[in-house]
Structure 1
Amino acid sequence: MFLVEDSAAQCAYVTQILTAEAKVVIVGVAATEPLAVEWLDRHPDQWDIALVDLYLSEGTGVGVIRHCQNRRPGQSILVMTNHARNDHLLHHCERLGVDAVYHKATELESLVTYCKSMAARMPQCAA
């Protein structure tokens, strides 16, 4: 998994949960849009899931997601946000090709379930 999150505490928390409960392997982390884009350019085939926070300290998660428009089949883009789910946000993410949206505070268990299902479909790949 490639993780894009600007909060060090949130990044550590999500990493701890996903590695312990879903056996996810974190292959890269970026805190800003420019760093995320640079990492993605250098490692286009080294991730199966990109978990992207929409609001970053520099740039946006939307910019990161747009950069992934030509990703290979089987690579998933997931969004995590602290903002309430609303139809506008969900529609915007859907138009960008996002596979799922999760609220950081209330839907981490659903995120874990998604990651487990990805691992079950591709046991030879690191999430």
Structure 2
Amino acid sequence: MIEDSALLRGMLGEMLEEMTHVVVVDAVAGENAAIERIASGEVDLAIVDLELDEGSGFGVLQHLGAAPDRFGGTRAVVLSTYAHRAIRKRCEQLGAEAFFDKASGMDDLLDFVERAAGEDRPRS
């Protein structure tokens, strides 16, 4: 999770940890820390805020799209208060699979993560 608000990082982290088959690998507040963490190869899905302590979520999305092999095909979604149509379109162009508004889309984000975790589980 890439989020500048420590409060939201904590709350969202707790909600995600309660889910079966979901492990929160890390929560960081800036673009460079996010890029380093994702490059470790342990991140299947990055939840990206657009406004960060350092850099931006747009920068994170640009890095992921520019070098997918470096980041192991990490999927990305955006969680932001900036839900304007132009912002959503830019995120989509940069490779974000989905966009969730912080004000009204938290349940939708959690549903998405739960579905994604189910898709990533090995089939028996």
Per the normalisation by structure 1, the TM-score is 0.84
SS in 2 for 1:4: coil
Does 74-83 or 111-120 show the bigger shift? Answer: 74-83
Partner Cα separation in structure 1 for residue 15 and residue 103 of structure 2: 13
Unaligned runs of 5+ in 1: none
Instruction: Please tell me whether residue 53 in structure 1 is matched to residue 49 in structure 2.
Output: yes
Instruction: Please tell me whether residue 62 in structure 1 is matched to residue 58 in structure 2.
Output: yes
One-letter amino acid of the counterpart of residue 31, structure 1: A
Q: Note the 1:65-80 alignment, pairs <5 A.
A: 65-69=61-65, 70-71=67-68, 75-80=74-79
CA offsets, 1:48-94, max 9 Å, x none?
Answer: 100110001211111111111133575310101022x2220111011
Shift >3 Å, 4+ stretches: none
Structure with bigger RCO (C-alpha 8 Å, 6+ apart): 1
Unaligned runs of 5+ in 2: none
Q: Note the 1:1-127 alignment, pairs <5 A.
A: 3-21=1-19, 23-41=21-39, 43=40, 45-69=41-65, 70-71=67-68, 75-83=74-82, 85-124=83-122
SS in 1 for 2:47: strand
Percent of aligned pairs with the same residue? 29
Aligned residues: 119
